[in-house]
Amino acid sequence: MSAPQTVYKITIPIHFFIFEFVIKDAIQHARTVTSARTIMGNKWVLSLFSLLVIFGCAPRPLIRPEIPGARSLGDVEDRIRAEAEAWEKTPHVLGGAGKDGIDCSGFVALVNQKLFGIELPRTAEEQAGTGTPVPRKQLQAGDLVFFMPSSKKPHVGIYLSRGEFVHVSSSRGVMISNVHDPYWWDCYWTARRILQM
């Protein structure tokens, strides 16, 4: 008479869906099997378990399924430009979070929370790990663009269109620049998409 089987039920959230996997005797087999034939036969169980651990521990992209009230990328861009105008010439202050002074990552986090309800990490380094990577040639309104100036920390802005992006310059405060300008082109690092139309 065989020993009763133990059923382990693991629920792993991946993005906005819940997948349930039932793994029978995974731990018991891993401890007791001795023959190479049995190990190969159960290799798929261990592989599945490894994948669950990897995907279960991976950070979830901060992508909204839709943007409330936005009908097009033009709407998204118009919202960001209007907000940028309200902040125009606000000075750069490291660690700042208001109209009296703000830094690049603080501005990006504040704008996305206010306009789209997205909570982003506070630092540019952490923000660069959110969303999904976007090739430079496929940038669209709302994408986060990152730069790595020499001997400085990462810099972040919000893409608009036609190469323009809004950011907080350390010398000129909140302003609009162009990724095609030689300085920004040379220190361009990466981009992340956190909005989805």
CA distance 150 to 1: 70
DSSP secondary structure letters along 43-55: HHHHHHHHHHHHH
Distance of CA 76 to the CA centre of its chain: 18
Determine whether 155 is an active site residue.
yes
Query: One of 57, 92, 155, 180 is an active-site residue; which one?
Result: 155
Distance of CA 8 to the CA centre of its chain: 32
List, in order, residues 6 or more apart from 3 with CB less than 8 Å away: none
Determine whether 167 is an active site residue.
yes
Query: One of 29, 167, 180, 187 is an active-site residue; which one?
Result: 167
Instruction: State the angle between helix axes of 73-87 and 104-116 in degrees (0 to 180), rounded to the nearest 10.
Output: 130
Measure Cα distances from 1 to 5, 8, 34, 87, 170 in Å.
12, 22, 21, 75, 75
Determine whether 29 is an active site residue.
no
Amino acid of residue 81 = R
Query: One of 29, 57, 92, 104 is an active-site residue; which one?
Result: 104
- Which residue numbers are catalytic? 104, 155, 167
